[in-house]
Structure 1
Amino acid sequence: MRVCVKALTLIWMLLGILAIAPRPAHAACDVPENSTLDKAASILFNCSSTMDLTSLPPGEKEFVANFSFPKTLPPVETPWRGIAFRVEPERYLRTLLAYGLKDNVPIDWRVEKGSQSWCHAPWFQDIRERIHGMTRERGSRLFELSEHQRSRAENWAIGFYNGVGCYGLGQVWADPARPKTKGFVFPPNTFAIKLLFTTAPISRVPYLTGSKTWNAAIGEHGSVKEMRLLQVDVAVKDPAAGALTGWIFGTFMYDAYAPGDDIWSKLVPVGLMWGNDPELTAKKYQEDGGAVQESWVNPAVAARFFPLPRHHLGLFGRLNGPVDNFNSACLACHARALDWGRGVPSEGPLFDEMNVLLPFAINPSDEEALRNYFRNREPTEPFVADTQSLDYSLQLAGGIFRFRGWVDMNFSAQAAETRDVPPYKFKEEKSGNAGAAPSKILPPTQDRSYVGPSPFSRGD
């Protein structure tokens, strides 16, 4: 009898261990020791995710990234062309959304099923959760989403590019060990769509009732949490946008109280943006009654958020989504997409200087900083002089940033051959105050300590 009890106890202990033990990442992500730069870079480039996952919920499957970039520029539908976005911003915005939903809703955004029609941006394998491939976004503070929100919410997101955008990514990443960013711009009609999910509960954010839910492996050791769709962003490189930025950005939010028969019809336009209104300073807004001229913000949505502590969606009435930093705006944030041509240590003077040069948002009372932050930059103009612009793509910039850091730590002797742009020289290095460069060369694995948080995000 005692033997049976002991056996049962051991079985239950084993089952408990198995229940919490993370599922191993796909073997295709394993980099053998002593791998060459080319082999290691190829393995990690094609890896979907290395993050932990305790177990897959019933009916779910693991995320599979699609990096099948077309070799030639594909034809693409452009239903937004011909709509005067300044005159009919809501119609233009809804047309963009319909285009992004058409191919992807029927396959529940599993774009690996769609060949080269849609794709993901590479080099996020270390920070993509393993069920839907989402990465962490800016969290929502108390009362940012609703007057009932009394705890902070996590927000995670995933973006998708159309075939034209995939072609552009393929031009950069034709060689996984030697990305080409010099002079990069996306072709016209590049389109991107991004889904943002939140952990905010319905009890605190009632307008999320009935929204689309996804399981996401974002908890401790990759445990699974349920998240709800809150925000959808769209962006298109439309020649009609002119010389301001070359891009038009738009945002939707889910609203349970909106008319419609399904989740997607309850996405309410938040606004459309084609310029940054760089002259809309605190004085002009607060004292002179100035208002945005290069955005359209849905007045009904703006009124909903005005009584909350955030006051605005974007600074002084500019466009941003409910998840985003209210001292910034969509286009200004994305204009920060650039290639430093090098990795940046995760802490120390260089990291601090980087965050000064490339801020998430600005002090609204600093007019000089405001005008610089909200400057209308052409696609080839970098936010920081002497760096390489990456044409408003934070996803491309984030992947390049992570790749550069990995190379500098693991293959420093070959770093020069991996870039076609010069490495940025920080002032601290010029003055000799940067400290010694890291000398430890780690094996080409998924060590996350080689580089700090990517500056190419929505920011805190």
Structure 2
Amino acid sequence: MLRTVSIATAMVASLGFAALAIAATAPKPALAARSERGSLPRFPDFGQLPPPEVITPDRVFRLAQDFPKALPPPEPAVQRILAIDFRKDWQGYMAATLAYILEGNIENRALSDTFFLEDNKARPWYHVPWQHWGDNGREGLHGLTAEGPVNPHVLNPLQQNQWAAYAVGFYNARGGYTIGQVWQDANNPRIDAVVRDGGFPIGTVVAKLLFTTAPVAEAPLLSNPIEWSAYVKDKFSAPGPTGLPINPRHLASVRLLQVDMMVRDPRADATGGWVFGTWIYNGLQAKVRAPGQTFDNRWRNLMPLGIAWGNDPTVTSFPGGNPAPLKTITNPDLKETVISTDPALPPMHLGYGLRLSGAVDNVESSCKSCHSAAQYPAISNILPGFSMKNGRYLTPKDPEWMRWFRNLKPTEAFDAGAVSTDNSLQLAGSIQNFLAAGNITSGGLYATQYYKGRKIESIYGSRGMTKHSK
């Protein structure tokens, strides 16, 4: 009889970090307390579902919204992550975090049934509400929301077309507590709750799975894919002047391209309090399946791209970046970022100054840069390249550009006059969506949707945008 191999053992063995084998034998942590759900959920689960003549799914996405009423204690698995020095052993840190994210979400099930959080018996995870609203809101099969465009050539020189990126993100129990504090009253979110509590608690882990509509023919790294069926647009679009979508949704296959993580780690307090990491899917590998492995072997194809715990605020070298990569180029001047030099990693464009930025992310920004602009109201755009000065867009030659690469404290807002949501763009966006829905139901506008007479910036849909996106 084959021995059952845990996620932690298999992922660690795959990545060659024997020191993490303790994760496979440690006792299971007790589940964090879940708040009781009433007869009906407080928040909608999704906003878009294919018509029944197209598909009648066996199950639909369910928002994990039973947020803890009290702050749960740190899990042993998270304590083990926080015991690894991310500066000295960044790959070990990421391997332990990936095992934590995958455990309970992928074992003993088809790929189509992975990451339904209500099925997780290892630990609870939670979604941010109010992602369902709008033309690009949550679809109902897997809870995916539109992230932005995937522009030509960013995935591969063969990529001739623009495609779309879709994602679903979730927070562990300690992060779920903070979300619940903001949304304690479903009709009156407390924007100041994050700052009041000093930001997200130590040990918060955030994960996001990013999929693309790009075909394998234009992105060979998507070979042997992890695919979901979803109700999406092939190309990213926002509502046009008529209020109708430019591109219609349809039932289509989307392929996993990237997984992101954020870990609230006190050892990163001097540079903002969070450790960011990204994995890239590379289906061109031939990973060996472990005996007794209980999950689909394709999950082994996730390769660590890099890790960042700061924005390197003084580094301005390599301003042109690597927007259409034939190979991955790294910047030796960066001291708060580490990028993988594994030759098996597909070429990556990275971000501004070659900071950490994933395959679907913006070439003019970075993971940490975008998230540092999480605030309400969104006075500044989350991207420097979409910010104006004297009637023109900023460029890296403008000194204001580096405002987007500061190391802000968790409770420090990007702009004076705003309230920080501690690097949570989803949380800031949920408040935007809540008020936008109120515009419809009330027939009016709110002053908080404006700053000095100017409509505040939209948080959603900017991830891969550049001024040349079409």
TM-score of the aligned structures, taking structure 2 as reference length:
0.73
* DSSP 3-state at the match of 2:149: coil
User: Match for residue 159 of structure 1?
Assistant: 169
Which of 253, 272, 288 is the matching residue for 1:226? 253
1:53 maps onto 2:50 in alignment: yes
State yes or no: 1:187 paired with 2:201: yes
- 1:120 corresponds to which residue? 127
Name the structure 1 match of 2:311.
276
- Residue 411 of structure 1 deviates from its aligned partner by 3.8
1:173 Cα shift? 0.6
Gaps of 5+ in 2: 1-38, 108-112, 234-246, 290-296, 322-330, 386-393, 466-470
Q: 1:364/1:299 Cα in 2 relative to 1: closer, same or farther (>3 Å)? A: farther
Larger Rg: 1
**Cα deviation 1:98-138 (Å, max 9, x = unaligned):** 11001222361111234871111000122101100100112
SS at match of 2:399: helix
- Give the equivalent residue in structure 2 for 1:322: 359
Q: Which residue of 2 aligns with 1:360?
A: 383
* Alpha carbons of structure 1 residues 168 and 284: separation in structure 2 relative to 1, 3 Å: same
2:67 to 63, 69, 88: 69
- CA 1:459–1:402: 2 relative to 1, 3 Å: farther
Q: How does 1:303-452 map to 2 (within 5 A)?
A: 304-305=346-347, 312-340=349-377, 354=379, 357-362=380-385, 363-411=394-442, 423=448, 426-428=451-453
Checking the alignment, whether the CA contact within 8 Å between 1:215 and 1:227 is kept in structure 2 is yes
The aligned residue for residue 109 of structure 1 is 115
Instruction: Return the letter of the residue paired with 1:231.
Output: Q
AA paired with 2:381?
L
Report Cα offsets for 1:54-112 as digits up to 9, x if no partner.
24657642111110101111232312111110111111111111110012223611112
Instruction: State the Cα deviation string for residues 189-228 of structure 1 (Å, max 9, x = none).
Output: 1111111111111112112111210000114765210111
Q: CA deviation at 1:274?
A: 0.2
Partner secondary structure for residue 381 of structure 1: coil
Superposed displacement of residue 258, structure 1: 3.1
Residues in 1 aligned to 2:298 and 2:356: alpha-carbon distance in whole angstroms: 23
* C-alpha distance after superposition, 1:262-314 (max 9, x if no partner): 1121100010010001111148999xx862110111123798436xxxxx311
1:245 aligns with 2:272: yes
Match of 1:267 among 279, 299, 302: 302
| Distance 1:427-1:222 versus aligned 2 partners, 3 A rule | closer
Determine the C-alpha separation between the residues in 1 that align with 2:267 and 2:457. 38
State the aligned residue count: 372
8 Å CA contact 1:193, 1:235 repeated in 2: yes
Partner SS state of residue 252, structure 1: strand
Residue 294 of structure 1: aligned partner: 336
CA offset at residue 183 of structure 1? 5.1
What letter matches 1:241 in structure 2?
A: A
Using the alignment, how far apart are the partners of 1:249 and 1:99 within structure 2? Answer: 15
| 4+ long deviations beyond 6 Å | 283-286, 412-416
The C-alpha deviation readout for 1:157-210, integer Å capped at 9, x for no partner, is: 000111111111011111001111215121111111111111111112112111
CA distance, structure 2, for counterparts of residue 402 and residue 53 of structure 1: 22
Gaps of 5+ in 1: 1-41, 307-311, 345-353, 417-422, 435-450
CA distance in 2, matches of 1:293, 1:58: 51
CA positional deviation for 1:457: 4.5
CA distance 1:147–1:109, change in 2 (3 Å): same
SS at match of 2:189: coil
Once residues 207 and 160 of structure 1 are traced to their aligned partners in structure 2, the CA distance between those partners, rounded to angstroms, is 25
CA contact (8 A) 1:278 1:370 kept: no
- Tell me if the contact between 1:241 and 1:247 (Cα under 8 Å) persists in the aligned partners: yes
Instruction: Tell which deviates more after alignment, 60-69 or 328-337.
Output: 60-69
- The verdict on how the C-alpha distance between 1:302 and 1:230 changes in structure 2, with shifts beyond 3 A counting, is same
- The residue aligned with 2:143 is 133
Q: Distance in 1 between matches of 2:124 and 2:345?
A: 38
Judge conservation of contact 1:360–1:455 (CA < 8 Å) in 2: no
Give per-residue Cα distances to partners, 1:400-430, cap 9 Å, x unaligned.
Answer: 11112233553488979xxxxxx4762336x
Question: In the alignment, what sits opposite 2:463?
Answer: 458
- State the partner residue of 1:198: 212
The answer on whether the counterparts of 1:139 and 1:155 sit within 8 Å (CA) in structure 2 is yes
| Higher fraction of helix | 1
Once residues 301 and 71 of structure 1 are traced to their aligned partners in structure 2, the CA distance between those partners, rounded to angstroms, is 46
1:452 to 1:372, Cα distance in 2 relative to 1, 3 A = closer
**Counterpart-to-counterpart distance in 2, 1:408 and 1:57:** 32
TM-score (norm: length of structure 1): 0.74
Contact 2:146 2:166 in 1 (8 A): yes
What letter corresponds to residue 112 of structure 1 in structure 2?
Answer: E
The root-mean-square deviation of aligned C-alpha atoms, in Å, is: 2.9
Q: Which amino acid aligns with 1:117?
A: P
Determine the structure 2 residue equivalent to 1:236.
263
Query: C-alpha separation between the residues in 1 aligned to 2:258 and 2:319?
Result: 30
Tell me the secondary structure at the aligned position of residue 216 of structure 1.
strand
Q: What does residue 13 of structure 2 align with? A: none
Counterpart mapping for 1:4-23 below 5 A: none
